[in-house]
Amino acid sequence: MDHYLRHLRFGRGRAESTTKSYAGHLKRFERWRQSRGLTWEEAARDIAGHLIERRITPRAHPGRGRGRAPSDAALGPALAAIHGFYRHAADVGEVNDQVLRLLFEVIEGDRLPYGERERSLVLRPRLRVDARPSYSAHLGPPEATADEVAALLEQVATARDACMVGFLAGLGLRIGQLAAVRREDIHLVPPGRTVPGCAYRHGPHLHVVRRDGHPRGAISKSRSTNVLPVPGPLVMLYAGWLNERRTIPAAATSPWAFVSFDGPAHTAAGQPLSTRRIYGIVVDLAAKAGLRHIHPHMLRHAFGAAASDLDIARDVLQRLLGHDALASQEIYRHAGAARIVEAATLISGRLIEGHDVP
């Protein structure tokens, strides 16, 4: 298992946070396997039993969700970790490769969709969990609305927090991408001008770069580098943060774009923010504004929903969100209630309008 985690981190270049998450899921799976005295092969036959047990067992560790059973969205990564481990174990001979036929359906290339037929064989999991989070209608849409984003900005007490909310919502950044931004990644140059080593000449922009080295483990999920235009309002928010940043002496030598103030527990100022800290800032702002539970990824969904409302072309949105595949953006395209009402009115008007009621 340790060999697989090392392979995942260094052989496949997965993020440290992903490797840590997989380690936790595999630790639970191993504890379950040993408690039942199962071999690896026997455990593979009863993975569904492990997932059912996890699904009905309330969380005992501190934090949000304590006392509640995990959702399907939480079990999706657990199943991905287990599947990945078994594939690796079969590759290195630690388990019989026949186990793979228990876990995966082997699909030949001529049965794949047209665009995937260059691959001769594909392993498709027999057991699947829908990892997409579900949202009850009474909890509101999965994205933060424009009014909710405005309410968050009204509650900020620092230029730093205003800039972070602005970057999350206005650029659609993931929380790990925001935490991992370096000062050198932000080029506030006018159109037609460039900075040394950068060929982009279309105005202020931000480079989203996947790199290791963040002291708190933050990293961009996307493996490819992306360049995002930074519109004027966000330039002003960042300029305000740079001015405020000058009041933090230790920040002068920090390469990270977003750093800490002096904390109530006398934590050192000028330290790079962790994803956990940024998450807490957004949640606290929502609570102060009297909003529902709003977390950073809902601001990325707000970006995608706004793009959908504005009918932004899919290939353009793909670039803005930093997706490798067009299909990845579908979870960010949500039909707003107003658009649904408008559509229903138009359809019924076309079919029913003009007919007399008996």
Residue by residue, what is the 3-state secondary structure of 279-328?
A: HHHHHHHHHHCCCCCCCHHHHHHHHHHHHHHCCCCHHHHHHHHCCCCHHH
Between helices 275-288 and 159-170, what is the axis angle to 10°? 100
Query: 356 in a domain, yes or no?
Result: no
CA 209, 212, 218 angle in degrees (round to 5)? 80
Query: 161 in a domain, yes or no?
Result: yes
DSSP assignment of 183-249, as one string? GGGEE---TT---TT----SSSEEEE---S--TT----S-SS-EEEE--HHHHHHHHHHHHHHTT-G
Cross-strand partners of 226: 208
Identify whether residues 151 and 221 lie together within a single domain: yes
More confident residue, 189 or 13: 189
Phi, psi for 137 (deg, rounded to 5): -60, -35
Identify whether residues 150 and 113 lie together within a single domain: no
Query: 8 in a domain, yes or no?
Result: yes
Per-residue pLDDT, averaged over 22-37, amounts to: 93
Query: 357 in a domain, yes or no?
Result: no
Identify whether residues 227 and 311 lie together within a single domain: yes
* Confidence label for 217 from pLDDT (cuts 50, 70 and 90): confident
Contact of 132 with 331, CB cutoff 8 Å: yes
User: Which among 103, 125, 147 is the end of a domain?
Assistant: 125
Name the domain count of the chain: 2
Identify whether residues 99 and 146 lie together within a single domain: no
Look at residue 264 in the predicted model and tell me its pLDDT: 62
Identify whether residues 272 and 308 lie together within a single domain: yes
* Confidence label for 346 from pLDDT (cuts 50, 70 and 90): low
Identify whether residues 231 and 305 lie together within a single domain: yes
> What is the domain-level CATH number for residue 163?
1.10.443.10
Identify whether residues 284 and 320 lie together within a single domain: yes
Identify whether residues 297 and 163 lie together within a single domain: yes
pLDDT of 220-246, one tens digit each? 888 788 889 999 999 999 999 999 999
How big, in percent rounded to 5, are the helix, strand and coil portions of the chain? 55, 5, 40
Per-residue pLDDT, averaged over 87-110, amounts to: 82
Identify whether residues 108 and 252 lie together within a single domain: no
Q: What is the pTM of this model?
A: 0.71
What span, in angstroms and rounded, lies between the C-alpha atoms of 58 and 193? 56
> What is the domain-level CATH number for residue 95?
1.10.150
Query: 131 in a domain, yes or no?
Result: no
Cross-strand partners of 227: 207
Q: Which of 176, 162, 205, 169 is nearest to 305 (CA)?
A: 169
Identify whether residues 156 and 88 lie together within a single domain: no
Q: Is the dihedral of CA 184, 188, 193, 199 positive or negative?
A: positive
Domain interval for residue 171: 138-332
Query: 119 in a domain, yes or no?
Result: yes
Look at residue 57 in the predicted model and tell me its pLDDT: 86
Contact of 143 with 305, CB cutoff 8 Å: yes
What span, in angstroms and rounded, lies between the C-alpha atoms of 262 and 269? 5
Contact partners, residue 219, CB within 8 Å, separation at least 6: 15, 16, 17, 176, 180, 210, 211, 212
